Structure 1
Amino acid sequence: MQKPKLGFWDIWNMSFGFLGIQFGFALQGSTMSRIFETLGASKDDIPMLWIAAPLAGLIVQPIVGYLSDNTWHKRLGRRRPFFLLGAILSSIALLFMPFSSEVWMAAGLLLVLDASINISMEPFRALVADKLPESQRSYGFVVQTLIIGVGTWIASNLPKFLNNTLNISNEAAPGVVPDSVKIAFGVGALVFITSILVTIFTTKEYSPEEMAAFDDASEPEEKKGMWATISSTYALMPVIMKKLGVVQFFSWFAFFAMWTLANPALTEHIYNAPKPDVKNFAQLDDSDNVLLDANQATLFLDQTQEDAYTTQDKAYNEASDDVGSKMGIYGLSSMAFALLLTFYTAYNSINRKVVHMASLVLGGLGFLLMFYIPGEPEYLVLCFALVGIAWGSILSMPYAMLSSSVESSKMGLMMGVFNMFIVIPQIIAALGGVVLLHNLIGEESIHAMTIAGIFLILAALSNLLITNKKAITYQPSITNE
C-alpha cells in the first residue's frame, strides 16, 4: 500500500513547528556572539564559547532519533511528544538567556537551548519521511525550508525592529544585554511554543500498524537496546550517508564560522564600529578589573571617557542591529529559493546533486565578497542573499537524498546519526579550527568569512562523490544501490 500524497496545507501544517525552531536558531545565530561580546568575551574566544551547541547536538540527536523511532503515544503519536518537550525546554532557555550576567552563564544556557531545540528538530526531519511518499519528499523538505526562511528573516530582524519601530532601547550599561535583545528572546519563546502546538494539533501521525503496511516499510528486525542500535548504525552507515557527510562537513563548518564571527567581523570591517573595551575607559583596580560604585555602575576615568565609551558602544549596537537584520536576508532568500523549488518539485523531479552543487557555489561567493566591501553595508544584502541560496539547499537537498536511501523504520535514528556530520565540523571549528584558519590569512575577523566561502566551495565540489541514482533524482523505477 502506498502512502497517500498530501496537499500543500497538510505539509505546511506538519512543518509549521519549524517556524519556532528557527526562531530559536536565528536568535542564537544572529545575537549570541553579541551577547558574549557584551559580557566581556574577546572575539577569538567566541567560537570556543559556542562549543556547547554542537556538543549538545552530538549527544542528543541520535538518542532522540532512536527514542522517537520507538515511541508511540496513544494521543501524541510517535514524533509529537518530542516536539512538545523540546518546545517547553527551549522556550524557558530563550526567556532566561538575555538576562545572563556572566559569560559562563550565557554559555551554559546556550547548551540547554541547543539541546532542547534538537529534541524538537530531529523528529521533525523524520516526520517528513513518515508522512510523505518518496515522490513528495523533496517537496516536503523544501516546504520545511520555506518556513525556516520565514523564521530566520523575522527573528534576525527583531532587535532592530523593536528599537527602530517601538523605540525599545538597544543600549545598556557595560556588561548588560540591551532591552531590545531581551524582548526579542521573549517573543522567540512565545513563537516557539505556539508554532509547535499548531503542528501538534493539526497533524495526525500514522500508527505503527499503518507504517508497517506501507510499501516502503522495511522488514522488522530483532529488537536491540538503544546503545547497541546506535552503535550498530554508526558501524553500518550506508555509503550515501558517508558521502553526504563530506558535503555536510564543509557546509556546516562554513555556517558555524558565520554564526560565531559574523557580528564581530562585520561590525569591525564593514561598519568600522567594533565593540569597545570598557577597560580602556574605566578606572581599574590592581588586578586590572573595572571598578564599580555603590550602585554597581562602572567608574569611568572622567566624563570625557564615559562619553567616548557611550558613543562607541552606541555605534557598535547600531551596527550589530544592522548586521542581524542583514543576516536575516539569508533567511529571506532561502525562503524565495525554497518557494521556487516547492512549486517545481510539486510536479517535477529535480537533479538534487546539481541543485546542491550550484547553490553551495553561490553561497561561497557571497561569503568571499564580504572582504571587498568595507564601508558599504548595502552590499551585504547581495552577500547574504547568495548565502541564503546555499542555506536553503543545505536544509533540504541532503535530507531528501538521504531519505531516499534509508529504511523507514530507522528514519529518526538515521537522521540523528546523519547530524553527526553537522556537529563534528562545528566542534572542530569551535576548538580553534576557524580561528586558526582565518589567522593564516590575517588577524582580522573578516577572514573568518573568507574561510566560510572557501569551505562552501569545497562542499560544492564534494557533491561529485555522490553517484547513487535514487538519491540524486527520484524515479520510481530506480532501486536502491
Structure 2
Amino acid sequence: MKQPQLSFWQIWNLSFGFLGVQIGFALQNGNVSRILSDLGADLSSLSLFWLAAPIMGLLVQPIVGAASDRTWNKLGRRLPFMLGGALVAAAAMLLLPNASMVVAFIPPMLFGLVIFAIKDAAFNVTFQPFRSLVSDMVPANQRNLGYSVQTLLINIGAVVGSILPFVLTNVMGLNNASTPGEVAPSVIWSFYIGAAILLGSVAWTVLRTREYPPEQYYAYKGETVQPTEPAEKSFGEKLAGFWQTTKTMPRIMRQLALVQFFSWFSLFIMWTYFPAAIAQHSWGVDVQWFDPAYITQMGGLPAEIAAAKGAAGDWVGILYAGYSLFAVLFALVMAKLANLFGRRLVYSAALLCGGLGYLSFILFKDPSMIEVDLLITQVTIPQGALSLMIPMVGIGIAWAAILAMPYAILAGALPAHRTGVYMGIFNFTIAAPQIISGLLAGWILGHLFANNAVYIVMLAGGSMVLGALSVWLVQDKESKD
C-alpha cells in the first residue's frame, strides 16, 4: 500500500510544536549561563553545570523513543509524549529564573541546576517524538521537505526565543541588569512568555495531527505483520535487548556519529561560553569580573560592569537570532540543494561555513561605540559586536544542516517498527560529544586559555571543520542515486 502524499500544511502541522520547543531551547541556550553566573557559578565551572542537558538527553531520548514505538492509544503514538513533556517543561521554565525565591530552603544555584535538569529532560520527552513523527507520517519522496520544514520552524522559534530578553529590555523597558544572587527581570519574563508559547504550539500539533492506526501504518511501511514483544520483561532483559539493538544499529548511524561528534562538541562550547566571550572580546569586560570570589572581594559588581555584562548578554540573544534567521533562509533552499547536488556535499559545505564562522570570531574586536537601528529600537554597541553578525551567517548555515541532514540521511535506513528507539539511540551522538565537551571545555578554558573565552570559541571552529571533512566518510546511498 502506497503512503499518501501530504500537503505542505499537513507537514507544517506535524512539526509546528517544535516552534515552541525551540523557543524554550533558545531561551536556555542564550540565558542559562547568564542565570547560573548570576546565581554564583564561576566561568570555568559553567561547562560542568551544562552537563545536565546532554545527560538528560542521553537518559531520556532512548527510553521515550522505545516507549513511543510501543504506544498506540486514542491520542496517537508519538503525540502523548509531546503533550506530557510540554506540560512539565513549561512548569520548569516558570521556576528556573525564580531560583532565588527559595533561598531559605535550598541554595539558589543548586535549585536552579535541578530545575534546569528537569526542564531539559522534559524538552527531550517533548521533541524526541517529533523526529520520529516525520519519519512515520511523511512518505520517502517528501522526507527532505519534511525535515527542512521542521528545521524552518525550529529556527523561527530560535529567533523568537533569542530576541525575547532584548525586546523586553529595549522595547518594553524591563531591566536587564542583575545583582549577585538575582536574575534580571527581562530574563524572568522571557521564560514566562516562552512557556506559554511552548504549550500553545505543542497543543496545535496534537490537535491538528492524526497519526495512522497500527494496521494502516505498517501497511504503508511494507510490513504485513505488526512486530510483537512480550508484555512484561525484567529490567535485565530490557537492558540486554537495548544493548543488542544498539549493537545491530545500521552502519550509517556509526558513520554519522563521527560527524555528530565534531558538530555538537562545537555547539556545546558556543552555548556555554558565547556570553562570556562577547562580554570580554567586544565589551572589554575583564576576565576577573567573571570570578565570583573576586566579585565578592570587591564588594559586588560596579554598575558599569553590570551594565556591560547585561548589554552583552542581550546582544548574545540578537546574535543567536541572527544565526537562526540565516538558518531559516538556508532551510528554504536546503532541500532543493540536497536534491540537486546530493546531501553529503550540502552537509559538508554547511559545516565548513560554520567552522569558518567560529574561527573568524577573533577578528571582530573594534571597541568604538556606534548606534544601530534594529527597526524595533536603537541601541549603542561596540562596532566589533555588530560585526559578529558576519560569523553568524556561516554558523546559521551549519545549524540548519545539523538539524536536518543527519535525520534525512538516517530515516530511510531505519526499520519502521524501530524508528523511535533508533532515533533515541542516535541521540547518543548528540549527547556524548556534549558531555565530553562539558568535561573538557572548562579545564581547557581555565588552564590553557586563562579564561579568555574567545579562544575556546576558536577551538569550536576547528572541531566544526573536522566535522565537515568527516561527512565524506558517510555512505549515503540515496544521495548517490
Could you say if the C-alpha distance between residues 139 and 25 of structure 1 is closer, same or farther in structure 2, counting changes exceeding 3 Å? same
CA displacement at 1:432 relative to structure 2 = 2.2
CA displacement at 1:433 relative to structure 2 = 4.2
CA displacement at 1:217 relative to structure 2 = 3.8
Match of 1:69 in 2: 69
Amino acid at match of 1:457: V
Correspondence for 1:223 among 229, 234, 243: 229
Instruction: Say whether residues 1:463 and 2:480 are aligned partners.
Output: no
**Matches of 1:323 and 1:233 in 2, distance apart?**
41
Instruction: Say whether residues 1:183 and 2:189 are aligned partners.
Output: yes
CA displacement at 1:230 relative to structure 2 = 2.0
Q: Would you say the 8 A contact 1:69–1:412 is kept in 2?
A: yes
Could you say if the C-alpha distance between residues 172 and 235 of structure 1 is closer, same or farther in structure 2, counting changes exceeding 3 Å? same
**Matches of 2:99 and 2:206 in 1, distance apart?**
32
Correspondence for 2:154 among 145, 148, 162: 148
**Matches of 1:338 and 1:435 in 2, distance apart?**
36
Match of 2:256 in 1: 244
Match of 1:479 in 2: none
CA displacement at 1:388 relative to structure 2 = 0.7
> What SS is found at the alignment partner of 1:71?
coil
Amino acid at match of 1:9: W
Correspondence for 2:424 among 381, 394, 416: 416
Q: Would you say the 8 A contact 2:449–2:456 is kept in 1?
A: no
**Matches of 1:404 and 1:349 in 2, distance apart?**
18
Indicate the RMSD between aligned Cα atoms, in angstroms.
Answer: 2.0
Q: Could you tell which deviates more after superposition, 441-450 or 8-17?
A: 441-450
Match of 1:234 in 2: 246
Match of 1:31 in 2: 31
Could you say if the C-alpha distance between residues 217 and 137 of structure 1 is closer, same or farther in structure 2, counting changes exceeding 3 Å? farther
CA displacement at 1:212 relative to structure 2 = 1.5
CA displacement at 1:154 relative to structure 2 = 1.1
Could you say if the C-alpha distance between residues 320 and 461 of structure 1 is closer, same or farther in structure 2, counting changes exceeding 3 Å? same
CA displacement at 1:324 relative to structure 2 = 1.8
> What SS is found at the alignment partner of 2:471?
helix
CA displacement at 1:280 relative to structure 2 = 4.8
Q: Would you say the 8 A contact 1:273–1:319 is kept in 2?
A: no
Q: Would you say the 8 A contact 1:217–1:407 is kept in 2?
A: no
> What SS is found at the alignment partner of 1:363?
helix
Q: State TM-score, norm by structure 1.
A: 0.89
**Matches of 1:258 and 1:374 in 2, distance apart?**
18
> What SS is found at the alignment partner of 2:365?
coil
Structure 1 segment 443-454 matched on structure 2, within 5 A: 443-454=451-462
Correspondence for 2:350 among 353, 356, 359: 359
Show structure 2 runs of 5+ residues with no match: 101-107, 367-383
CA displacement at 1:218 relative to structure 2 = 7.6
Q: Would you say the 8 A contact 1:68–1:412 is kept in 2?
A: yes
**Matches of 2:294 and 2:416 in 1, distance apart?**
59
Q: Would you say the 8 A contact 1:257–1:434 is kept in 2?
A: no
Correspondence for 1:368 among 359, 367, 374: 359
Q: Could you tell which deviates more after superposition, 308-317 or 214-223?
A: 214-223
How many equivalent residue pairs? 449
> What SS is found at the alignment partner of 1:100?
helix
**Matches of 1:14 and 1:221 in 2, distance apart?**
25
Encode CA deviations 1:369-404: one digit per residue, 9 max, x unaligned: 111211311111111121010000000000000001
Q: Could you tell which deviates more after superposition, 308-317 or 221-230?
A: 221-230
CA displacement at 1:442 relative to structure 2 = 5.8
Q: Would you say the 8 A contact 2:44–2:445 is kept in 1?
A: no
Could you say if the C-alpha distance between residues 209 and 42 of structure 1 is closer, same or farther in structure 2, counting changes exceeding 3 Å? same
Q: Would you say the 8 A contact 1:363–1:453 is kept in 2?
A: yes
Q: State TM-score, norm by structure 2.
A: 0.89
Match of 2:86 in 1: 87
**Matches of 1:313 and 1:370 in 2, distance apart?**
23
> What SS is found at the alignment partner of 1:414?
helix
Q: Could you tell which deviates more after superposition, 260-269 or 360-369?
A: 260-269
Instruction: Say whether residues 1:401 and 2:409 are aligned partners.
Output: yes
CA displacement at 1:2 relative to structure 2 = 1.4
Instruction: Say whether residues 1:265 and 2:263 are aligned partners.
Output: no
Structure 1 segment 267-282 matched on structure 2, within 5 A: 267-273=279-285, 275=289, 280=294
> What SS is found at the alignment partner of 1:155?
helix
Instruction: Say whether residues 1:211 and 2:217 are aligned partners.
Output: yes
Amino acid at match of 1:331: S
Instruction: Say whether residues 1:158 and 2:164 are aligned partners.
Output: yes
Correspondence for 2:328 among 335, 342, 347: 335
CA displacement at 1:235 relative to structure 2 = 1.3
Match of 1:98 in 2: 97
**Matches of 2:167 and 2:71 in 1, distance apart?**
41
Could you say if the C-alpha distance between residues 252 and 217 of structure 1 is closer, same or farther in structure 2, counting changes exceeding 3 Å? farther
**Matches of 1:216 and 1:243 in 2, distance apart?**
26
> What SS is found at the alignment partner of 2:453?
coil
Amino acid at match of 1:117: F
**Matches of 1:350 and 1:73 in 2, distance apart?**
41
Instruction: Say whether residues 1:194 and 2:185 are aligned partners.
Output: no
**Matches of 2:118 and 2:195 in 1, distance apart?**
14
Match of 2:371 in 1: none
Q: Would you say the 8 A contact 2:47–2:441 is kept in 1?
A: no
Amino acid at match of 1:78: R
Q: Would you say the 8 A contact 1:153–1:331 is kept in 2?
A: yes
**Matches of 2:222 and 2:143 in 1, distance apart?**
13
> What SS is found at the alignment partner of 2:452?
coil
The sequence identity of aligned pairs, in percent, is 38
Could you say if the C-alpha distance between residues 281 and 7 of structure 1 is closer, same or farther in structure 2, counting changes exceeding 3 Å? closer
CA displacement at 1:229 relative to structure 2 = 3.5
Q: Would you say the 8 A contact 1:434–1:448 is kept in 2?
A: no
**Matches of 1:229 and 1:17 in 2, distance apart?**
31
Q: Would you say the 8 A contact 1:39–1:103 is kept in 2?
A: yes
Could you say if the C-alpha distance between residues 434 and 405 of structure 1 is closer, same or farther in structure 2, counting changes exceeding 3 Å? farther
Could you say if the C-alpha distance between residues 278 and 313 of structure 1 is closer, same or farther in structure 2, counting changes exceeding 3 Å? farther
Amino acid at match of 2:19: L
Q: Would you say the 8 A contact 1:156–1:328 is kept in 2?
A: yes
Q: Would you say the 8 A contact 1:438–1:447 is kept in 2?
A: no
**Matches of 1:195 and 1:377 in 2, distance apart?**
33
Amino acid at match of 2:360: L
Encode CA deviations 1:299-348: one digit per residue, 9 max, x unaligned: x5xxxxx7x71221011101111122112211111111111225667xx5
Instruction: Say whether residues 1:385 and 2:393 are aligned partners.
Output: yes
